């Protein structure tokens, strides 16, 4: 911290400083192998640990046919019933849908960090079946940033069976498809437990009157 006086007769004053070592090794993301390919077409690109609670999974593929499958973490060399499910990229604990080459980001619950687990995988609870997993390095081999949100990646959620898709914001997407005399619509959002998204019809013909709505139509 320096004080620079306007009058040149006074010298520059150093109130204190810290020296950054030349060989400083700051925390950084850790790149892991891809998911093991064991069942239901599960595969991915190399998975990254972005910070102490965040995984980035590129090019994720999964057929969605597991009846009770979830993202799963725990201790040990591979997934087992002693592990626990974690939210998907939308923050939901629902059974996993299909993925078709999507890039997603997973957040561990607040009571967990990557230093508390040995693997990340996809596990079917009903049939106790491991669809594939990746091993997490030992804590003394990890040197990742703390989970402060600074490495969060905004990802696009790709459409699947819908022909039309529009990204309304970083956290909200609408998809739609016309089938004969019907229009099928799906909203996808990243949100907290106290938030919701909805679709509705405007009461005013030719005008979307709901101020807080992102998706409205009129008939």
pLDDT digits (tens, 9 = 90+) for 44-55: 999 999 999 999
Q: How many CB atoms lie within 10 A of CB 31?
A: 11
For the question of whether the overall pTM of this predicted structure is more than 0.95, the answer is no
Helix locations, 22-100, DSSP H: none
Encoding tokens for residue 53?
Answer: 């609670």
What is the tally of helices (H) and strands (E) in the chain? Answer: 0, 15
Spatial contact of 64 and 34, defined as CB atoms under 8 Å apart: no
What pLDDT is attached to residue 184?
75
Q: Which of 89, 82, 98, 95 is nearest to 43 (CA)?
A: 98
What pLDDT is attached to residue 129?
97
Q: What is the mean pLDDT of residues 29-38?
A: 96
Range in 40-44, 78-82, 170-174 the model is least confident about:
170-174
> For residues 19 and 177, which has the higher predicted lDDT (pLDDT)?
19
Q: Is the pLDDT confidence value at 186 over 60? A: yes
Spatial contact of 4 and 12, defined as CB atoms under 8 Å apart: yes
- Say how far apart CA 57 and CA 138 lie, in whole Å: 20
Domain boundaries, the chain: 30-141, 164-217
Q: Is the pLDDT confidence value at 97 over 50? A: yes
């Amino acid at each position: 911290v320096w004080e620079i006086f306007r009058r040149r007769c006074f010298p520059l004053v150093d109130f204190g400083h810290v020296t950054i070592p030349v060989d400083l090794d700051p925390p950084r993301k850790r790149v892991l192998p891809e998911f093991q390919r064991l069942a239901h077409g599960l595969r991915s690109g190399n998975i990254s640990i972005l910070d102490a609670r965040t995984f980035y999974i590129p090019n994720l593929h999964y057929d969605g046919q597991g009846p009770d499958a979830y993202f799963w973490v725990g201790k040990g060399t591979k997934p087992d019933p002693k592990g626990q499910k974690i939210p998907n990229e939308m923050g939901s604990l629902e059974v996993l849908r299909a993925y078709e080459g999507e890039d997603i980001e997973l957040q561990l619950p607040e009571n967990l960090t990557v230093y508390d687990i040995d693997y990340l995988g996809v596990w079917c609870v009903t049939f106790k079946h491991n669809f594939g997993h990746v091993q997490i390095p030992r804590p003394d081999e990890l040197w990742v940033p703390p989970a402060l949100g600074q490495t969060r990646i905004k990802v696009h959620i790709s459409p699947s069976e819908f022909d039309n898709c529009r990204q309304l914001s970083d956290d909200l997407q609408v998809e739609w498809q016309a089938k004969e005399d019907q229009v099928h619509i799906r909203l996808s959002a990243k949100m907290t437990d106290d938030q919701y998204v909805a679709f509705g019809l405007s009461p005013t013909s030719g005008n979307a009157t709901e101020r807080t709505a992102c998706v409205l139509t009129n008939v």
